[in-house]
Structure 1
Amino acid sequence: MAGPTTPEPWKTPQKCLAIFALVFCCFVLVVLIFSSVDIWGDDEDSITEENCGTDCRIELVENIPGDFSFPKNGRAHLPLSVGLHTLLDQAKSSIEVVSPVWNLSPWVLEPIPSAAKQGQLLFQRLLSLKSRGVKLKIASGLTNSAELKTLAAHNAEVHFVNMTVFTRGGLHSSFWIVDRKHFYIGSADMDWRSLSKRKEVGVVVYNCSCLALDLHRVFSFYWQLHERDYIPSIWSKRVTALYGRHDALQLQLNATEATAYVSASPELFCSKDRTRDVDAIYEVIQSANTFVFISVTDYLPMVSRSFRGTSVTRYWSTIDEVIREAVVLRGVRVRLLISFWKKTHPLTFNFVTSLKSLCMQLHNCSLEVRFFSHKEQKDDMQHGLNHNKYMVTDNALYVGSHDWVGSDFAINAGVGLVLKMKHSLGDRNVSILERVKAAFERDWRSRYAKSLQANKDQQGKYRNLQQANIYMETKEENEWNNPLYL
C-alpha cells in the first residue's frame, strides 16, 4: 500500500505565500513608477526638450515709484506693468502664476489710492482671461485670499501649497509662465505696491520655450503638492530639472550666445537634477572675474530655527564666505546695496562692518556697502522700498526670489534664474548684463544710496535699531548728517 504523497516543494503554503508577496511587491512598484511618471505629471502640450526654442529675447523690467528722482541720462528700461501686460497680450492658451502675495486691488483701503490703478487694471485683465479662452493656473501658499477666491470664481484653477507642513516656511517664488514660451521672473509680487510704490527689478523673456519649460517644471512641482502633506519619494519625470549649473541650456539672448538654468530652494523642493539657489549664487560669484554687484532688500548670513519651543540661531556661511574669498583671494570688486528700512535686522550692520574690514591695509581690495533708503518708508506700506533681489557680474546675472538671509533659503520656497554670457561685458553692444549693471550703478550713485556708520561710542555694540545712533554719510556731501532713528 502506497504511503502519503509528499507535496512538491513549490506547492507548500510558505512558498505560495512568498511568491504571492513577490508578485504583489512587483505590482506595487510598477504602480508607483507609472504614477510618478504619468499620473503625477501634467500635459506639457507639444513642447518637449527635443523641439523647444532657444532663440530668445530678454527685457529688463523695473518699477520705479513716481516720486523717485534719478538722472535722465542713460537707457530707460521697460516698466514692470508694461512687461506684464505684454505677456498677457501674448497669451493664447495658458498662464501659470506663482506669487507670495495677492493684493492687486486693495479692498481694505477706502478710498482706494490712485497708486493702485495699475494693480486694479492687471487684476481685471486676469479676470477676463476666461473670455479669451486662456487658462489661468495659480499656485499659492495663501489659504484665505479674497482675490484668489474671486479669480477661482472666474474659472482660474488655484492650488494651495501648505508650506507649514513641509518646512514651516512660505511660498516666496514670484514668476509667470505664458504658453510655455514666455515668462517673467523677479522681485515683484502680485501686489499693487509692486506696480507703483516699491522699487522692483525682474526680466521678461520671450520665445524661449526650452527655459520656460524648465520653469514650468518648478510650477508643476508646486501644483502637485495641492492638498498633500508629504513629498513623494519617487519624483515625476515631469518635475525633474532639464538644466543645471553643470549642464546649462545653450541659447541665444538678443542674438548673444549665453547659457541659462533655473534654480530653486529649499533643498527639499529641489527635484532631481535641480540646482539649489545657494549653489547657483555661489557659482555666479565664484566665476566672476572683475566685479560683483549685489542689490537685495536684506543681507543677513544667519539661520534661525525653532525646535520644541526653543529658538536656535547660527551663522550661515555659504554666501558670506564666497564673497570674502572673491574679494581677498581673487581681487574681485564687490558692491553690496542693501535696503535700510524698519525691518532691517540690527546684526546686519555687524556683518557689514566685518565684510568692510577685510580690505583694511590690503592693496587691490575693494568691498563697498551702501544702504538704500527713501523718506516715504512708513508703517507697513513699504513705500519707496528697494525690493530688488539680483546680482550682476562681468559675465553673469542672477535674479531670484529671496533676500540674502539664511533662513529664507532654508525654509522658504523660491526660484532663481542664472544667465551666463559667452562674451564678457563690453564685448558686445548692449547685453542684458550691461543694462542691469547700468541700473545698479544708477541706484548706487543716487542720493538714496548712502554709507551707514555707527557713532564711535556705539560701534560694535548694537542691541536694537532704537539704541544704535546711525549716521548717514553721502559720497556727494562727505559730511555727517543728522542721526537717523527708526
Structure 2
Amino acid sequence: MGLDGAYAQLDPLDPPETPTPKRPHRATLFAVPSVLFLLAFLILTLIHPRLRGDAAASAGSCGNSCRIVLVESIPEGMNITSPTNPSTFEAWLELLSSARRSVDIASFYWTLTNEDTRTHEPSAAQGELILSELLRLPRRGVAVRVAVSAPSAKAPLDDLRALERGGAAVRAVDMPRLTGGVLHTKFWLVDGVHLYLGSANMDWRALTQVKELGAAIFNCSCLAEDLGKIFEAYWALGVPDAAIPAPWPDNFSTAINAATPLQLRLNGSAAAVYFSSSPPPLCASGRTPDLSALLSVIDGADRWVDVAVMSYLPGTEFQRPERFWPAIDERLRRAAFERGVRVRVMAGCWPHSRPAMFPFLKSLAAVNDDRARLRVEVRLFLVPASAAQSRIPFARVSHNKFMVTDKAAYVGTSNWSGDYFERTAGSALVVAQAGSGTFRERLQEVFQRDWSSGYSVDIGDTESWAGRCGPR
C-alpha cells in the first residue's frame, strides 16, 4: 500500500479475510498492565526564537500565548522558492529540547534509522538524531509514551525495542482487530502545552526524502489538553484484549468541536480551532469525526477550496471487494456546481499510486467549464529523483494531507479514500482564521507555491506523468 503502508514492511490494511497481525505475547515487547493511565501534565513556558516567536506565555493560560507554525519537509534536491518554512526536523528537535516532564507520540510505525530500512543513506542522519534525542529523555526524567499501530511480522521493531529498553512506555494498538484498519495518526504532545500534528511518520525519509506538511503549536495548554484526550483513547486501547467502549467514559469527551470550536488567539489573531478524529467508534462524546470535519470545511467555503493530498480516490482501497465511496468527491462537485466555488486538487504522483486514482481525477477535472461557470482544476505533484534517490525505497513523493479555503485550514493525517475515514485511526486540526498573516493564509501560500511550481503538471497532460505515476 505504498508510503502509508509502512514502505511495504507493513500491510495493515489488508482485506478482512486476511489474517490480522499476531499480537506480541504479554510478556514480550509492548507488554503493559491492563489498566487505564491518565497522565497529568504540568505547564511550562518555553519559547524558541525561530519557531515560536518571542512573546511570553503565562502558564496555564491560552489567552494570547498560543503560537502556531507551519512546518514542512522538503525532499533533498528540490528547488522550492518562497515561502520557506521551518522544517519538520527543526520542529521535532525543538519539541524534544523543550521537554521537561512528558512526551507522548501517536504514530503509525517507526523507521528512523538506516538499519531499519537496510540502506546506507546519509540523509537518514536527521532521523537517527531524533531517535537518539528521544532515547535521552527518560535519563533526563522525561516520561515518554508511544502509541503505535500493531506491527506486522515484517515490521522493523528496533526503534521501539530501544525506546522500551531506555525507559519509554510503548503500547501497540491492535486496530486490525478493533476496526479493521491501522493507527495511522501522527502527532506529538510535549509537557501538556506543545504539540505537532501533520503528515510525517516516525521515519527518517519523512524528514529528508518525502514532502510533508504539519503544524506545530506552542504554549497552548487548552489545545494540547484536548488533543491529549485522543492520545489517551489510543493508550487505553493499547492494553491486551482491549475493546472500544460504547460509550466512551466522560473523561474522554470534549466540548471543542465543529459546532463549538475553541475561540482563542493564534499568533495574536482571533481563531476558531478544533481537532477531529477517525474512525467514528474512536470519537468520544462531543468529538467531531474526521470526515464530518473535512466536509464541513468544504461546505464553509465561499470562494475557493484548495486540496493537497497524496492519495485521492472516491472508493475504498484496502477492503475486498472494493466499494465506491463518493463522500468527498461528491461534496467538491456540489461546491463547484451549487455555490460557484473554485476547486483545485493536487494529488501525489509516484510509482505506488493507485491506478484507479487517475480516471477519477480526470473525471473531476472534466467538470471544469467556462460557459457553465464551473471552475475545477486538477494537477499532479511529482517529486524529482536522482538515480541514487530512486533507489531509496518508498520515497520521493508528496505525502501532504491538507486543505485550505477562503475561511479555514485543515491539516490531517489521512489520505482521501474511504478506508481512512471508516476504519483507520487518524486526526486533523481545523483552524478558521480571517485576515492577513494567519496560519490559514500561510497554508494557502504554500499551496499556491506548489501549484505554480515546475513540479506540478496538469492531469490532462498525460505524457508528462504517465510513466511516473502508478505501477509500471
TM-score for both structures, normalised by structure 1: 0.80
SS at match of 1:325: helix
Q: Structure 2: which 5+ runs fail to align?
A: 1-34, 44-58
In 2, Cα distance between equivalents of 1:111 and 1:390: 30
Structure 1 residue 111: Cα displacement = 6.1
Partner of 2:109: 101
Of residues 263, 271, 274 in structure 2, which corresponds to 1:261?
274
CA offsets per residue over residues 216-248 of structure 1, 9 Å max, x none?
000000001121342123422221124110111
State the 1:164 CA deviation: 1.4
State the secondary structure of the residue aligned to 1:169: coil
* Residues 1:199 and 2:211 aligned together: yes
Cα displacement string for residues 385-435 of structure 1 (whole angstroms, at most 9, x for unaligned residues): 1010001111111111111011121111100111111x2xxx33x111121
1:361 Cα offset (Å): 5.3
Measured in 2, the distance between the counterparts of 1:452 and 1:390 equals: 19
Letter in 1 for 2:314: P
Letter in 2 for 1:42: L
SS at match of 1:280: helix
Equivalent of 1:112, from 105, 120, 123? 120
Determine if the alignment matches structure 1 residue 315 to structure 2 residue 327. Answer: no
The one-letter code of the counterpart of 1:472 is: S
Identity of aligned residues (%): 34
Give the deviation of 1:112 after TM superposition. 2.9
Cα separation, 1, equivalents of 2:393 and 2:185: 21
Whether 1:355 and 2:364 are equivalent positions in the alignment is yes
Residue 282 of structure 1 pairs with residue 292 of structure 2: no
- Do 1:105 and 1:192's aligned partners in 2 also have CA atoms closer than 8 Å? yes
Shift of 1:280: 0.3
Amino acid at match of 1:131: R
Match of 1:137 in 2: 145
Please tell me whether residue 239 in structure 1 is matched to residue 252 in structure 2.
yes
Identify the match of residue 328 of structure 1 among 312, 325, 337.
337
Contact 2:148 2:172 in 1 (8 A): yes
CA distance in 2, matches of 1:251, 1:362: 43
| Kept after mapping to 1: 8 A contact 2:107/2:148 | yes
Corresponding position of 1:28:
none
CA contact (8 A) 1:401 1:416 kept: yes
For the residue of structure 2 that corresponds to 1:127, the secondary structure is helix
Q: Which residue of 1 aligns with 2:6?
A: none
Aligned residue number for residue 397 of structure 1: 409
Partner of 1:153: 165
Taking a change above 3 Å as real, the CA distance of residues 115 and 313 of structure 1, as seen in their structure-2 partners, is: same
- 1:365 is displaced (CA, Å) by 2.0
Aligned pairs for 1:8-157 (under 5 A) are 40=36, 42-45=38-41, 53-55=62-64, 56-71=66-81, 74-108=82-116, 112-143=120-151, 145-157=157-169
Q: Secondary structure at the match of 1:82?
A: helix
CA shift in 2, pair 1:357/1:117, >3 Å: same
Query: What code does the residue aligned with 1:139 have?
Result: A
Structure 1's 329 and 66: CA in aligned 2 closer, same or farther, altered over 3 A? same
CA positional deviation for 1:317:
2.0
1:147 and 1:43, CA in 2 relative to 1: closer, same or farther beyond 3 A? Answer: closer
Please give the secondary structure, in 2, of the residue aligned with 1:321.
helix
With a CA cutoff of 8 Å and minimum separation of 6, indicate the structure with the bigger relative contact order. Answer: 2
1:339 alignment partner, SS class = strand
Is the CA contact (8 Å cut-off) linking 1:328 and 1:359 kept in structure 2? no
What is the CA-CA distance between 1:382 and the residue it aligns to?
2.9
Query: Which one of 300, 305, 328 corresponds to residue 292 of structure 1?
Result: 305
Question: Alignment partner for residue 193 of structure 2, among 157, 178, 181?
Answer: 181
Which of these two proteins has the greater Rg computed from alpha carbons?
1
Q: Which residue of 2 aligns with 1:167?
A: 179
Shift of residue 331 of structure 1? 1.0
Q: 2-side partners of 1:89 and 1:320: how far apart? A: 42
2: CA distance, partners of 1:109 / 1:286: 42
> What amino acid sits opposite 1:433 in the alignment?
R
Pair 115,41 (structure 1): closer, same or farther in 2 beyond 3 Å: closer
2:454 counterpart of 1:447: yes
CA distance in 2, matches of 1:403, 1:472: 24
CA distances 1:9-62 after superposition (whole Å, capped 9, x unpaired): xxxxxxxxxxxxxxxxxxxxxxxxxxxxxx746143467xx9652431011100
Residue 381 of structure 1, CA deviation: 1.9
What SS does the corresponding residue of 2:84 show, helix, strand or coil? coil
Q: Contact (CA 8 Å) 2:303, 2:340: kept in 1 or not?
A: yes
Q: Which stretch shifts more, 173-182 or 230-239?
A: 230-239
CA shift, 1:482, in A, is: 8.3
Instruction: Please tell me whether residue 433 in structure 1 is matched to residue 423 in structure 2.
Output: no
From the superposition, tell whether residues 247 and 482 of structure 1 become closer, same or farther in structure 2 (CA, over 3 Å): closer
Distance 1:320 1:110 in 2: 39
* 1:348 shift after superposition: 1.3
Task: Give structure 1 stretches of 5+ with no counterpart.
Answer: 1-38, 455-469, 474-480
Give the structure 2 partner of residue 472 of structure 1.
Answer: 464
Which residue identity is paired with 1:438? Answer: E
Aligned mates of 2:431, 2:119 — CA distance in 1: 43
- Counterpart in 1 of 2:379? 370
Kept in 2: contact 1:337–1:372 (CA 8 A): yes
Q: TM-score, normalised by structure 2?
A: 0.83
Contact 1:40 1:236 in 2 (8 A): no
Instruction: Specify whether residues 380 and 264 from structure 1 end up closer, same or farther in structure 2 by C-alpha distance, changes over 3 A only.
Output: farther
Per the alignment, do residues 127 and 240 of structure 1 end up closer, same or farther by CA in structure 2, a change over 3 Å counting?
A: same
Match of 2:11 in 1: none
